[in-house]
Amino acid sequence: MSALAQSMDSHAAGAEQELTDGFHLVIDALKLNGITTIYGVPGIPITDLGRMAQAAGLRVVSFRHEQNAGNAAAIAGFLTKKPGICLTVSAPGFLNGLTALANATTNCFPMILISGSSEREIVDLQQGDYEEMDQLAIAKPLCKAAYRVLHAADIGIGIARAIRAAVSGRPGGVYLDLPAKLFSQVMEAKAGAKSLVKVIDPAPAQLPASAAIKRALDVLKSAKRPLIILGKGAAYAQADDQIRALVEKSGVPFLPMSMAKGLLPDTHPQCAGAARSTVLKDSDVVMLIGARLNWLLSHGKGKTWGEPGSKRFIQIDIEPKEMDSNIEIVAPVVGDIGSCVSALLEGMGGAWPAPPADWVGAVKAKREENVAKMAPRLMKNTAPMDFHGALGALRTVIKERPDAILVNEGANTLDLARGVIDMYQPRKRLDVGTWGVMGIGMGFAIGAAVETGKPVLAVEGDSAFGFSGMEVETICRYNLPVCIVVFNNDGIYRGTDVNPTGGADPATTVFVKGSRYDKMMEAFGGVGVNATTPDELKRAVDKAIDSGKPTLINAVIDPAAGSESGRIGNLNPQSVLRKK
């Protein structure tokens, strides 16, 4: 008898003593804590867990590769503030999911990777079990917390700890190791139910000290050229109204980091997105809200930031260790963003002095100049398309459909889309994040579609798409409203490189020329379109979103249009000895 049939049998009415088992306890514990969806790939020893979860009313979304399931779980965590759940088999499945878990932790997204594992007795003596691996030890350094449950009676506590660890404080990835034997362990149903824990207040508010608020406001008030930087922590916090009120009441220009775009619209009069270099270089006080001074902000120093010593930083973050990580923070405000921003607003009182008019005016002038410079490039309707022409069309799509979710990865395809496509609503832009990782595309698209029910537009470099492309089958299978646009420039950065030896192998950065990615979608019953002009592209995307049908548009981009490493070529070491 299969484990499923067995456990259903033991649940049957009339059994002498009602029993439960590990399978049921895991499912019951997740449901008790409001988990509604599991992303994963089935197999030994968790096949029945997935089946039974589906039977119990959870939505179980089965992927073709665990990394994509993990990425879906991670973005579900970012979008909902509840931990996204990824379920995998042992050793190789676990390792496939681990990249997503590490990436979630790096990005401060709450998720739980639950992996089945082989038996402790055999693993610890290294006797060669099926898919043997000491998974807990391997996961530990790559996530925020890692736990293993050995007894069915501890499942409730194990899941409660995993949930708390994922969402409290700085959110992150948690690993939960469930050895195969645990699932069929039986216990008395009543005792089992009692052992479950409904986590109360899983992410408690963390209030800032009033002295910290006063210090921050004093620094802000003294600024001649203030700037607010909004990061994805601010988007995650879902304190949208307070953040908007703070920005507007202060009158300070704001710069959104990539995934914070739309928290306030990019078209807001205070948005300095189109004057990025100017505000970073010329500001004198910078207030960071849920953004780290990592490589994405040049560590708060160097040429990007103008004269050394010309800045003072205020930083709002839930993680005290983040302060002074790269450069001195003169006004650290530690707490959750909702509480911190509310306290700042309260501290500002009724009236707050506007920042100096010459600064606000200079930012506005720079912004208008840059927007005007860009405008004609976005209207080019040529074949093959260049990046700007194609992105101009997609920019209009999002303007007309501000509630659609934009997923974005690639190099040129990423960097240029980030600048060109204005966002209007919070948490609508999902991308490669802190690591600049390729492969988040289809996982994020599926996670976003499942969690929000909104249309998803995934703008993908042809290389980037390849990392998760097989999930187009998953998109078709679940009939998700996802429209993928592959920016097909025949390769990584460009499609024009040649093998320097003149040999038969292609260059290392190019792909098959003239590929038709649209056919991949057709293979699974979705809609495929080959678009050669921005007009064709726009029409195809509109049709896809209107119909809600899974669609893949192969956007033919000039192979010579891109630049090496997109906008971060400065980080790419190149040999001075290389023969051209």
H-state helical runs in 528-572: 534-547
406 interacts with ligand TZD by CB under 6 A = no
Minimal distance, residue 274 CB to ligand ADP, in Å: 18
433: left (phi over 0), alpha (psi -120 to 50) or beta: left
Which of ligand ADP, ligand TZD, Mg ion, none does 437 bind, CB closer than 5 to 8 A by kind?
Answer: ligand TZD
- Using CB under 6 A as the binding rule, whether residue 231 contacts ligand ADP is answered as yes
In the complex, minimum distance from the CB of residue 257 to ligand TZD, in angstroms, rounded to a whole number: 18
For the chain, the farthest-separated pair of C-alpha atoms sits apart, in whole angstroms, at: 82
Q: Contact between 322 and ligand ADP (CB under 6 A)?
A: yes
- Classify residue 115 by its DSSP letter: E
Of 245 and 296, which has the nearer Cβ to ligand ADP?
A: 296
Site string for ligand TZD, 415-454 (x = CB under 6 A): ---------------------xxxx---------------
Q: 439, 276, 219, 166: which is closest to 431 by C-alpha?
A: 439
Q: Which residue has the tokens 């589906």?
A: 54
The answer to whether 158 touches 185, Cβ cutoff 8 Å, is no
Which residue's Cβ lies closest to ligand TZD? 461
Work out how close the CB of 261 gets to ligand TZD at its nearest, in angstroms, rounded to a whole number.
Answer: 19
Residues 65, 70, 73, 74: is their CA dihedral positive or negative? negative
CB atoms within 10 A of CB 136: 18
Does position 425 interact with Mg ion (CB under 5 A)? The reply is: no
Q: Which is nearer to ligand TZD, 110 or 566 (CB)?
A: 566
Closer by beta carbon to ligand TZD, 229 or else 482: 482
370 burial type by CB count under 10 A (0-12 exposed, 13-18 middle, 19+ buried):
middle
464 contact, one of ligand ADP, ligand TZD, Mg ion, none, CB 5-8 Å limit per kind: ligand TZD
Per DSSP (E only), the strands in 180-271 are 186-188, 226-230, 254-256
Tell me how far apart the alpha carbons of residues 224 and 264 are, in angstroms, rounded to a whole number.
23
Question: Does 461 interact with ligand TZD (rule: CB under 6 A)?
Answer: yes
Which of 158, 355, 461, 481 binds Mg ion (CB under 5 A)? It is 461
Q: Containing H/E element for 483?
A: strand 482-488
- Partner whose binding site includes residue 438, from Mg ion, ligand TZD, ligand ADP, none (CB under 5 to 8 Å by kind): ligand TZD
Q: Encoding tokens for residue 491? A: 């390769």
Among residues 392, 406, 419, the alpha carbon closest in space to that of 274 is found at 419
Binding string to ligand TZD for residues 546 to 565, with x set by CB under 6 A, is what? ----------------x---
For Mg ion, the binding residue among 96, 107, 195, 489 (CB under 5 A) is: 489
On whether the CB atoms of residues 292 and 325 are closer than 8 A, the answer is yes
Whether the bond into 481 is cis, omega within 30 of 0: no
> Would you tell me which residues interact with ligand TZD (CB under 6 A)?
410-413, 436-439, 461-464, 487, 489, 492-493, 562, 566
> Would you tell me which residues interact with ligand ADP (CB under 6 A)?
107-108, 170-171, 231-233, 236-237, 257, 259-260, 290-292, 294, 296, 317-319, 322, 336-337, 434
